[in-house]
Amino acid sequence: MSSRSRRSTEGADHIRPRVSPVSSTTPRRTFHVESLGCAKNQVDSELMIASLERAGWHLADSPDDADVIVVNTCGFINAAKKESIETSLEMKARHPDRKVIMVGCLSERYGEELAAQLPEIDAFLGNRNPSRIVEIVEGRGPVQPPGAKPYERDHLLSWPGSAYVKIAEGCSNRCTYCAIPLIRGDLASRGPAEIVAEVRGLLDRGARELVLIAQDLGSWGKDLGGGGLTELLGNISRIRGDFWVRLLYIHPDHFPSGLLDLMAGDARFLPYFDLPFQHGAPDILRAMGRQGDPARNVDLVSAIRRRLPDAVIRSTFLLGFPGETDADFDMLLDFQERLRPDWLGSFTYSREEDTPAYRMSGRVTKAVAESRKAEVERRQVSITDRALDRYIGRSLDVLVEERVQGEELSLGRAYLQAPDVDGLVVVRGAFAPAGMVRVRIDRRNGVDLEGGVVER
């Protein structure tokens, strides 16, 4: 855990919002968005906020001040489904006289069932067209003023200076445990010109870090018949300016050729690689429907580190998949030791309806899966500690996210830390959010680094 409590989606307006065109005779109508789940969901929430504001609605920081409460749900695993339902029902219980709308992934997958089982909720909307929120809220079609761009967002829910750019929707990998294709469909890449235009717009409005996201960045463009991710990044590299580009989630089976050369030639593309390997036993990987094998995956990471010595590797392991034996788990631990990822997330298998793994035999008990997860996490502590210790004595650029109230301290992130999932840099001194400072790291505190500002 990092040294601060991550905030909820009442988020920063560090990109300047436009005032919605509401006449003086129109009553002030307010809404609040409670965004759950991943960064892709967050972008959808930002798009819904933009659509409602263009229709004359005003964003409220708190559900207590809203006429309409929108809960953007996650439906990836059972724990996320439970949180989504509980949050929606809690909002209705606290505000029985307000309209509560469930939107997003859970509503997309289980809309009819939810409508039948949750009569307390006023309306439901899936995730295929976020702008339809206006139609749901007030009974008319989406409002798109002349010249409005599909992905233009007036409020961002991310930390100051950072903005997510969703470059594709859906996934065609068909991992046997994953419900994402059932929820978001097959891969649908956005056009390169539209993405580059959005990037330019976000930079013009103050963004310092652009976080490119998709279910699988490495597959971007395969459905368009043109160039792949490296070509898109080449187009972005032609934009002038001092900014970061961070890539989140590249399926290791689809690692783009030329990516390392591009990063070596342009330091704005951060050498941060989110590669969810999921497991280290060949039989389990095959059962998961993944093409790679542990040896090739270790070779991939070794090649990355040889080409980019400052590379940071984040990965994800899935514990308790059907058929996972003690021997398979030992292989995973060996893989972890050989891989030595800087950051690692782990989760236990969630049995999802209509996925191929749902009917697989050899189910692992919850207790065993949780025990294996705990062991992976225990072993990762020393690996991450050692990875972070290499920054002590170095100077790093840090994107400031917030000041610590009542103290002469600021919190931010360096290139090795992605938003919300990794540690932080604690900076001595009070600095403006969304600014960039040069920090000499002099100590580590758990997963956080600490230091003071130095001249560039």
Mean pLDDT, the chain, rounded, equals 90
Average pLDDT for 247-265? 94
Q: Which residue has the higher pLDDT, 455 or 122?
A: 122
Quick one: pLDDT at residue 15? 33
Length of the chain: 456
5, pLDDT greater than 80: no
In this predicted structure, the answer to whether residue 226 has a pLDDT above a threshold of 90 is: no
Q: What is the pLDDT of residue 148?
A: 52
pLDDT tens track for 43-65: 999 999 999 998 899 999 999 99
How does residue 149 score in pLDDT terms, banded at 50, 70 and 90?
Answer: low
> Is residue 145 scored above 90 in pLDDT?
no
| Nearest to 176, CA basis, from 289, 321, 318, 324 | 289
Query: What's residue 131's pLDDT?
Result: 86
Beta-sheet pairing, 395-403 with 409-413 = antiparallel
Per-residue confidence (pLDDT) for residue 94, from 0 to 100: 95
pLDDT exceeds cutoff 60 at 24: no
Name the phi and psi angles at 177, rounded to 5: -95, -5
Percentage with pLDDT > 90 across the chain:
81
Place 154 in a pLDDT band, splitting at 50, 70 and 90: confident
Q: What percent of the chain has pLDDT over 70?
A: 91
Q: Which among 225-229, 379-383, 403-407 has the top mean pLDDT?
A: 379-383
What mean pLDDT comes out for the span 399-413?
A: 95
User: How confident is residue 76, by pLDDT bands cut at 50, 70 and 90?
Assistant: confident
pLDDT at 3: 43
Question: In the structure, what pLDDT confidence band is assigned to residue 320 with cuts at 50, 70 and 90?
Answer: very high
pLDDT of amino acid 444: 98
- Place 140 in a pLDDT band, splitting at 50, 70 and 90: low
Nearest to 92, CA basis, from 124, 60, 62, 68: 68
For tokens 């059962």, the residue is 287
259 vs 271: CA distance, rounded Å: 10
Q: Residue 379 has what pLDDT?
A: 98
Q: Mean pLDDT, to the nearest integer, of 22-28?
A: 49
- Closest-CA residue to 409 (of 456, 453, 454, 455): 453
**pLDDT at position 257:** 87
Yes or no: say if 303 and 252 are a contact pair by the CB < 8 Å rule: no
Identify whether the C-beta of residue 41 lies closer than 8 Å to the C-beta of residue 35.
yes
Per-residue confidence band for 78, with pLDDT thresholds at 50, 70 and 90: confident
Q: Is the pLDDT of residue 397 over 70?
A: yes
Q: What is the rounded distance in angstroms from the CA atom of residue 19 to the CA atom of residue 21? A: 6
Note whether 281 and 295 are within 8 A (CB): no
**Structural domains of the chain, with CATH:** 29-138 (3.40.50.12160), 162-389 (3.80.30.20), 395-453 (2.40.50.140)
